[in-house]
Amino acid sequence: MSSDAGKIHAGIVEVKTTHHRGFSPEEVAERCLSKIMSVSDSAPPAIKDQAHAFQENLRSVLVFYMKEAIKSDRTTVCNALLDAGQKDLAEMIRRL
């Protein structure tokens, strides 16, 4: 039994902020990846290499589909603006 048995602990949060922009798909993917998987420093080298390779593949898939979601959401926003008669604003969003 560990000496921590029965103790209640608080974890450590990280704070990430941006200035005059939102997070990029790459930045969000990084956070997402750390929730999906972690690679132990003590893992055997072969397993560690394989895990890192999988992590990198997962990262590119996440970034791609996040960008797809952003594009799709902009289409939705553009149409909402067009429906509201805001043609110029809709065009601005479409060109982002």
Q: Which stretch binds other proteins (CB under 8 A): 13-21, 49-57, 59-67, 75-83?
A: 13-21
Using alpha carbons, list the distances in angstroms from residue 34 to 58, 69, 88.
11, 20, 40
- Is residue 51 near other proteins by the rule CB under 8 A? no
Neighbouring CB atoms inside 10 A of 81's CB total 18
Considering the complex, state which of residue 18 and residue 83 has its C-beta at the smaller distance from other proteins.
Answer: 18
Taking CB under 8 A as the criterion, the residue among 34, 57, 75, 79 binding other proteins is 34
Question: Which amino acid type is present at position 93?
Answer: I
Considering the complex, state which of residue 23 and residue 82 has its C-beta at the smaller distance from other proteins.
Answer: 23
- The site for other proteins, by CB under 8 A, has a size of 26
Q: What angle do CA 73, 74, 80 make, to 5 degrees?
A: 95
